[in-house]
Amino acid sequence: MIKTLAKSIREYKLPSILTLIFIMGEVIIEVIIPFITANLVNDIKAGAPIESVIQTGLILIAMALVSLCCGGAAAITCSKASTGFAKNLRRDMFEKIQSFSFSNIDKFSATSLVTRLTTDITHVQMSYMMIIRTAIRSPMIFIFSIIMAYTMGGALAASFVVVIPVLLFGLLLIAKNAMPAFRRVFKKYDKLNESIEENVRAMRVVKGFSREEYEKQKFAAAADGITEDFTKAERIVALNTPIMQFCMYFNTVMILFLGSYLVIKSGGTDIDVGQISAMLTYGVQILMSLMMLSMIYVMITMSLESMRRICEVLNEEPNLKNPENPVLKVLDGSIKFNNVNFKYNKNAKRNALENINLEIKSGMTVGVIGGTGSSKSSLVQLIPRLYDVTDGEVLVGGVDVRDYDIKVLRDSVAMVLQKNQLFSGTIKENLRWGNENATDEELIEACKLAQADEFITSFTDGYDTYIEQGGTNVSGGQKQRLCIARALLKKPKILILDDSTSAVDTKTDAFIRKGFKEFIPNTTKIIIAQRIASVQDADMIIVMENGKIESIGTHNELMKLSEIYREVYEQQTNGGDNNENA
Amino acid sequence: MKTPNYRGPKGPGGMPHGKRKLSVPTLKRVIKMLFSYYPVLFPLALFCIVFAAFVATAPAIFNQRIIAIIEEALKENIGWDIASKEIIPNIIVLASLYVVSLAAVFTQTQLMAYITQGFLGKMRKTLFNGMQNLPIKYFDTNKHGDIMSHFTNDIDTLRQLVSQSIPSVLQAGIVVLTVFTIMLSYSIWITLVVLFGVFMLFLVTKKVGGGSAKYFMRQQKAIGKTEGFIQEMMNGQKVVKVFCHEDKTKKQFDEINDALCEDSKRAHAYANILGPINMNIGNILYVIIATVGGVLLLLKAPNLSLLQLFGVEMPLGISIVIPFLNMTKQFTGNVNQLSQQINSIVMGLAGAERVFEVMDALPETDDGYVTLVNAKKDENGNITETTERTGLWAWKHPHEDGTLTYTELRGDVRMVGVDFGYEEGKEVLHDVSVYAEPGQKVAFVGATGAGKTTITNLINRFYDIADGKIRYDGININKIKKSDLRRSLGIVLQETNLFTGTVMENIRYGRLDATDEDCIKAAKLSGADDFITRLPNGYDTELSNNGSNLSQGQRQLIAIARAAVADPPVMILDEATSSIDTRTEAIVQKGMDSLMKGRTVFVIAHRLSTVKNSDVIMVLDKGRIIERGSHEDLIAQKGQYYSLYTGAFELE
């Protein structure tokens, strides 16, 4: 895991190392300062000449300034290293996700990917900063202070032998108990927040059923549980301060007592008053460094989960690869399915598509109809190779889709997804996703064909109207038409509409189909629809049922052949009349 | 917050957001709440903090005393046996002070952990309860993410405020004051030097801290931008793939990511640099004090101290200089602490203010006094109230003269000449009149934005209109208690929202006391039973994430069952079957028909096949009813409905 993450440090290795060096410099000076200060105090006490006192003072100030420089430099390099590392990590993850195939994407939900790219990375960034700043600092201060304490204080240092193990043990015990408690409560906390979000989203349902009081009670129960758990966890952590203070106090008392005894006994020769105060300072430093170490420990373990989640993405192998010698041209818009079986997941029991054999000639209009879950979408998603078949083959223009360069294939097969999306930006910018170099005339032409031009020009800003994130400022039907126009701009050989006119009224829908017939006769058009009217005039209609092709034919043929088709047709055209008679 | 008008009239608002300023009223309010929630424990915790802080300054005094004794012993050549008689009592007093202080710190930290979490729990509940009482308009006009962040970010800053900032400011403030007094009582000259140093420290911190705040703000903006982009792209990842837009997306991301890194680097650099600056200015000050003290000692300069002013002899000796060194550290350390905490107090208060804003927002008003009760008819046909569920409901209407009348709930809904706009000056409904008799099916047809959903929003009083224009069984709906009004209306919305829990629990949401049999019956009625029984765990299948493991159509079926189990006399179906494919709809239709039987039903649908068999169909256009009548009437009229209905065929 560390190895995977460390790959993203790259050009920020230098600032990382520099940080360590600067901090070492800072620490060394920091540890020497009390030593020299002790000398200064002794000089003063011994009545040394003013010049030598001032001289030592100046040396000390110079040292503090050097330490300041080191510290400042470390602060800068460390920020550079940690934010840079986070940047690289985010970039690597984002790139990885861009290389994902549909089935990779299905594996992670969009929300989880967002969390991984934001919160999780922030956690890792903070940990990294903490590590390079304190991982070397605290142990160094600890070791140096101990050495200095022993060389200076001699017997006085005995106090540390008692205090350090006590503190270390105490801190570790707290960390060990607190962490699982926190992890548990955070999980619950996330759930609570999810249910709040659910409630906010479903406010109309809540109010519609007048369930406000019920929701309040439900929430109060959950919130009370969380409060209790949080309190437990926080109380464990709250032991940190008293334990730390206990050690500090114990140390002070010991040193004062032992110190005064030793000073007086030796008549001030073995150790002196200055050393007592230096020992007190070292005591604080040693204990503080231990405290920092335990904080790092907690922080790193807390971010382990984030690291794991990031690595999961970084280590995910995209399972669709470009072939080695790809075919770079799609000849025509003919499509052929040979004995195709398909399942989304290797371990799935049921095939999503079973034994599909199908031949579509270039330029045909094909309708696909079938109930929810009949695998209509699965069928068409195999054509631009959004997924790979499990068995059999899919041919486009006479060539197996797996032999094409993926970009070439997808540029020739335009697909308007069922769950489609516009991006924040102007309408023009959105349309140019289809073709970056499209001229304004081409844009308008495509929009006219998709019956979008009329409403676009009715906007004050026309084609420069800004689409909000998620396309919230256009209606569902308008969004669908913009998505169709965007796909048309690719000038594809095959155009697939996956239930893409469901929110468009029937008249406009008919206009769109009419336009297709007249203006792009050579493009193969595959239309998945709920409405019979949308597919009725197709050259060929496929009726799907439970992952299989139930029947294929023209409208008239199917009216005779397919019971399902007939049923749907009747429901949609005469259904109302029947009900009235009933 | 985008809606300042939702701030309560007496709310703590008034402070524009973005400007960082300490809001005293908010601070007062937080502290007042703490006192009222924990009238004993909170003062006790405060007492412990103050006490511990006082004790923390004591070592300086004892250090000084002990060192003075040692010095004297050295000078006078007094042995340990005699000197210890003076030293040991001092150490014992010090040790006992420490023990007491430890007890205080222990009590305080435990209490604060308890109080903080308890306080947050109460805040969460108050916030949630307040939110439940807000009108739908609040949720329509505020982003869900913003509302959520009150529960996550703002509550989090409150935690920081209560558990850390308030105690440490109190503690640091007391230490600063005490140490300052002690310093003055020792030597005014050296104290002045310390003050000068602290002043320098303050200047530098302010400068650097200001830079840090500026860049943190920029970083926050950059983070927002990056997150927005990431969110959009992760949601649209499949579209990116279909258009082979990966490279362009990467390039765009790199730009945003680089900018974020740049701002974030600056922000952190400024923040990180504060540590070494504070520490080293502290160090330099320490050295200066030592040197100045030394020089003064050597010069045998006369001392000036507060104690001297009171007549106590205070010669400038090593026993003053050494404790001063420690006090200097303590003083600067705590001044730093104060300046840092002030910042987080400001931030915490900003969070608190946002929470209070929601808590103070005007709740949904409900002046209704007509309630819905179970009823019984006696032999004479008179309606009386009863406690059991009879299936017969009545409106209980108390009048001004003290009398009570009961009106049978029949489901007669009338709108007369309704004009309405969500915002002032922007009317979306013009002179709309609808008469729905009990048991009738009334359909609304029209383009998006024609005002179909707005009409239903008014019937269930998600939004209110002027008095008397909508009547329910002859009663002005503004007089009916909202919860009772809504109880009598079953609503199935286009956007289906299910809750985490089992399918059964979701259906039961419609009527909490429904038995399993009732729920299954409702599911059968609405045609959901078939697919539910085929789910892995049937009715006990857990739904999560708004039922993401179900198809949109299946979710709609559950939503219909949920409304059915409530068994309301009036139902509103707003595109309730839009995602059910027509074939399934045909299967469901039978159930739907029996579901609608005997009820007043308002149907909004895109598919004409869904509305065809309605008693009356209203065609809406830009907020006006332009045609009304039965399917046959409208076809005969050859108007808008006719062209809609035939639109698909005409072009064949």
pLDDT at B5: 32
Q: Is the pLDDT of residue A576 over 50?
A: no
- Tell whether the model's pLDDT for residue A223 goes beyond 80: yes
Q: Which residues contact B457 (CB under 8 A, 6 or more apart)?
A: B136, B463
Of the ranges A22-26, A171-175, B21-25, B101-105, which one carries the lowest mean pLDDT score? B21-25
Indicate whether B316 belongs to any domain. no
CB B384 within 8 A of CB B406: yes
Residue to substitute from B96, B122, B287, interface A, most A β-carbons within 10 A: B287
A493, amino acid identity: K
**pLDDT (average), residues A9-35:** 89
Note the pLDDT of residue B468.
62
Q: Which domain holds residue B165?
A: 16-186+345-364
Contact: B609, A575; criterion CB under 8 Å: yes
Tell me: do B472 and B552 sit in the same domain: yes
What are the structural domain ranges in chain A? Answer: 2-314, 335-420+495-572
Secondary structure of B623-634 as H, E, C letters: CEEEEEECHHHH
Handedness of CA A8, A14, A17, A18 (dihedral sign): negative
Residue B364 predicted with pLDDT over 70: yes
CB distance A238 to A211 below 8 Å: no
Report yes or no on B8 lying in a domain: no
The C-alpha atoms of residue B386 and residue A63 are separated, in whole angstroms, by: 89
Contacts of A62 in chain B (CB under 8 A): none
Q: Does B253 touch chain A (CB under 8 A)?
A: yes
Q: Are B363 and B130 in contact (CB under 8 A)?
A: yes
Same domain, B241 and B350: no
- Which among B110, B238, B275 is the nearest to A102, CB-wise? B238
Helix (H, G, I), strand (E, B) or coil at B18: coil
Q: Where are the beta strands (DSSP E) in B133-231?
A: none
State residue A84's pLDDT score: 96
Say yes or no: A186 contacts chain B, CB-CB below 8 A.
no
DSSP 8-state secondary structure symbol assigned to residue A401: G
A257–B232 C-beta distance less than 8 A: no
Nearest to A287 by CA among A257, A251, A253, A238: A251
Comparing C-alpha atoms, which of A363, A436, A343 is closest to residue A103?
Answer: A343
Question: How many other C-beta atoms lie within 10 A of the C-beta of residue B624?
Answer: 14
Residue B323 covered by a domain: no
Q: What pLDDT was estimated at residue A575?
A: 44
pLDDT at B453: 82
Scanning B424-443 for CB atoms below 8 A from A yields none
Greater pLDDT, B290 or B268: B268
Cβ-based contacts of B245 with chain A (< 8 Å): 433
Residue B485 counted as domain residue: yes
pLDDT band at A392 (very low <50, low <70, confident <90, very high): very high
HSE on the CB side for B536, CA within 13 Å? 6
Buried-state track B451-474, b at ≥16 Cβ within 10 A, e below 16: bbbbbbbbbbbbebbeeebbbbbe
Residue B519 pLDDT = 93
Return all residues near A582 (Cβ < 8 A) that are at least 6 apart: B593
As a whole number of Å, the end-to-end CA separation of chain A is 67
Q: What is the mean pLDDT of residues B273-296?
A: 82
Residue B289 CB partners (closer than 8 Å, separation 6+): B190, B193, B194, B321, B324, B325, B328
B621 and B535 assigned to the same domain:
yes
Flag whether pLDDT at A17 surpasses 80. Answer: yes
B550 and B521 in one domain?
Answer: yes
- Flag whether B646 is in a domain: yes
Same domain, residue pair B173 and B44 = yes
Predicted local confidence at residue B6, as pLDDT? 30
The 10s digit of each residue's pLDDT in B241-274 is 888 888 999 999 999 999 999 999 998 898 888 8
Q: For residue B165, what is the domain's CATH number?
A: 1.20.1560.10
Q: What are the tens digits of pLDDT across the range A496-520?
A: 999 888 778 777 888 899 999 989 9
Phi first, then psi: give them for residue A540, nearest 5 degrees. -155, 135
Residue-wise pLDDT for B566-610, tens only, equals 888 888 888 777 667 666 676 667 767 778 888 889 988 767 777
The confidence score (pLDDT) of residue A348 equals: 75
Residue B325 lies in a domain: no
Give the closest-approach CA distance of B93 to chain A in angstroms: 10
Same domain, residue pair B544 and B534? yes
pLDDT score, position A578: 36
Q: Give the model's pLDDT for residue A261.
A: 85
Confidence band of B389 (pLDDT split at 50, 70, 90): confident
Q: Are A430 and A422 in contact (CB under 8 A)?
A: yes
* A46 pLDDT tier (thresholds 50, 70, 90): confident
Please give the residue that has the higher pLDDT: either A420 or A318: A318
B505 and B591 both lie in a single domain:
yes
What's the rounded Cα separation, in Å, for the pair A256 and B88? Answer: 10
Q: What is the mean pLDDT of residues A281-300?
A: 81
Who has greater pLDDT, A246 or A503?
A246
Domains: count for chain B: 4
Spatial neighbors of A357 by CB under 8 A, at least 6 apart, are A337, A338, A339, A340, A549
Which of B379, B408, B437 delimits the end of a domain? B408
What average pLDDT does the segment A233-251 reach? 88
- Give me the amino acid identity at A534: S
Give the residue-averaged pLDDT of B175-187. Answer: 87
Integer Cα distance of B302 and B317 in angstroms: 10
pLDDT of B556 strictly over 60: yes
> Which of A210, A436, A567 to mutate: most B Cβ within 10 Å?
A210
A415 - beta bridge partners?
A: A496
- Count CA atoms within 13 Å of residue A56 on its CB side: 26
From the CA of A398, how many Å to the nearest CA of chain B? 21
Cα(B602)–Cα(B373) distance, integer angstroms: 23
What is the band of B70 on the pLDDT scale with cuts at 50, 70, 90? confident
3-state class (DSSP) for residue B495: coil
- What pLDDT is stored for residue B583 in this prediction? 67
Using CA atoms of B193, B196, B198, B200 in order, give the dihedral in degrees to the nearest 10.
-140
CB A73 within 8 A of CB B288: no
A87 touches chain B (CB under 8 A): yes
B360: in domain: yes
pLDDT tens track for B215-230 = 888 888 888 889 889 9
- Contact indicator for A332, A523 with CB cutoff of 8 Å: no
Give me the pLDDT at residue B608, please: 75
DSSP-assigned letters across all residues of B342-382: HHHHHHHHHHHHHHHHHHHSPPPP----BEEEEEEE-TTS-
Q: Indicate the Cα dihedral angle B477, B483, B489, B491, nearest 10°.
A: 120
Handedness of CA B382, B388, B394, B399 (dihedral sign): positive
Q: Which pLDDT score is estimated for B649?
A: 33
Distance CA B501, CA B490 (A): 21
Mean pLDDT score of chain A, rounded to an integer? 87
Residues B22 and B164 in one domain: yes
DSSP-derived secondary structure letter, A352:
S
Q: How are the residues of chain B apportioned to helix, strand and coil, as percentages rounded to the nearest 5?
A: 60, 15, 25
Query: Is residue B555 scored above 80 in pLDDT?
Result: yes
Looking only at the bridges linking them, the beta strands covering A353-360 and B404-408 are unpaired
Q: Tell if the CB–CB gap between B265 and A216 is shorter than 8 Å.
A: no
pLDDT bin (cut points 50, 70, 90) of residue B9 is very low
What does the H/E/C string look like for B71-91?
A: HHHHHHCCCHHHHHHHHHHHH
Q: Per-residue confidence at B648, pLDDT binned at 50, 70, 90?
A: very low
| CB-CB under 8 Å, A372 with B580 | yes
Whether the CB-CB separation of A444 and A453 falls below 8 Å is answered with: yes
Among residues A407, A490, A477, A480, the alpha carbon closest in space to that of A442 is found at A490
Lowest mean pLDDT among A198-207, B394-403, B433-442, B574-583: B574-583
The identity of residue A279, as a single letter, is: M
pLDDT of B17 strictly over 60:
no
The helix/strand/coil state of B619 is strand
* Residue corresponding to tokens 């959105």: A430
CATH number 1.10.1520.10 is the correct assignment for the domain at A335-420+495-572: no
State how far residue B72 is from chain A, nearest Cα, in angstroms: 10
Q: Inform me whether the C-beta atom of residue B155 falls under 8 Å from chain A C-beta atoms.
A: no
Considering CB atoms only, which of A26, A210, A265 is closest to B483? A210
Minimum CA–CA partner of B257 in chain A: A87
- Could B101 and A476 be called an inter-chain contact, meaning their C-beta atoms sit closer than 8 Å? no
- End-to-end CA distance of chain B, in Å? 52
Question: A475 vs B449: CB contact, 8 Å cut-off?
Answer: yes
The residue that leads in pLDDT, A19 or A135, is A19
A contacts of B98 (beta carbons < 8 Å) = 249, 252-253
Regarding whether B593 and B542 lie in a shared domain, the answer is yes
CATH class of A2-314: mainly alpha
Instruction: Compute the average pLDDT of residues B182-187.
Output: 86
- Mean pLDDT of the B616-631 span: 86
Q: Are B575 and B460 part of one and the same domain? A: yes
Residues in chain B, overall count: 652
**pLDDT number for residue A124:** 92
In this prediction, what percent of chain B has a pLDDT beyond 90?
A: 12
Q: Give yes or no: residues B518 and B535 share one domain.
A: yes
| B638 phi and psi angles, rounded to 5 deg | 55, 45
pLDDT of B16 higher than 60: no
Q: Please give the backbone phi and psi of residue B419, each rounded to the nearest 5 degrees, phi first.
A: -110, 140
Whether the CB of B404 is below 8 Å from some CB of chain A: the reply is: no
How distant is the Cα of B595 from the closest Cα of chain A, in angstroms? 14
Give the residue-averaged pLDDT of A286-298: 82
Looking at the structure, tell me whether residues B543 and B448 fall in a common domain.
yes
Which candidate from B148, B297, B612 shows the least CB-CB separation from A200? B148
* Percent of chain A whose predicted confidence (pLDDT) is above 90: 40
Residue B128 at interface with chain A, using a CB cutoff of 8 Å? yes
Res B22 pLDDT > 80: no
A525-539, B59-73, B575-589, range with the lowest pLDDT? B575-589
Of how many residues is chain A composed?
A: 582
Highest mean pLDDT among A85-94, B273-282, B385-394, B454-463: A85-94
Taking residues B10-25, what's their average pLDDT?
A: 50
Residue A336 sits at φ, ψ, to 5 deg, of: -140, 130
For residues B30 and B356, is the Cβ–Cβ distance under 8 A?
Answer: no
**How high is the pLDDT of residue A397?**
93
Residue A78's Cβ-count burial label (10 Å; 0-12, 13-18, 19+) is buried
Q: Which of residues 156-185 of B touch A (CB under 8 A)?
A: 163
- Residue B537 inside a domain? The answer is yes
Question: Contact, A93 vs A116, CB < 8 A?
Answer: yes
Greatest CA separation for chain A: 119
CB neighbourhood size of A322 (10 A):
13
Helices and strands, number each (H, E), in chain A: 22, 12
**Which residue of A56, A204, A383 to mutate against B (max B Cβ within 10 Å)?**
A204
pLDDT band for B411, please (50, 70, 90 cuts). Answer: confident
Interface of B with A in 52-91 (CB under 8 A): 59, 62-63, 66-67, 69-71, 73-74, 77-80, 83-84, 87-88, 91
- Phi, psi of B555, deg, nearest 5: -65, -40
Yes or no, beta carbons of A234 and B117 under 8 Å apart? yes
User: Could you say which of B355, B379, B408 is where a domain stops?
Assistant: B408
- Quick one: which of B111, B160, B164 has its CA closest to B337? B164
Q: What is the pLDDT of residue A465?
A: 93
Domain boundary among B356, B383, B408: B408
For the cut 50, the answer to whether the pLDDT of residue B10 exceeds it is no
Query: Hey, what are B575's tokens?
Result: 């595109």
User: Mean pLDDT across the stretch A360-384?
Assistant: 90
Residue-wise pLDDT for B442-496, tens only, equals 998 877 667 888 888 888 888 888 766 888 888 888 888 888 888 888 888 877 8
For the CA atoms of chain B, what is the radius of gyration?
37
Angle at B317 between CA B316 and CA B320, to 5 degrees: 85
List chain A residues with CB under 8 Å of B561: none
What does each C-alpha distance from A503 to A211, A357, B521 come to in angstroms? Answer: 32, 31, 32
- Cβ neighbors of B83 (< 8 A, separation 6 or more) are A260, A264, B69, B70, B73
E-assigned strands of A450-492? 466-467
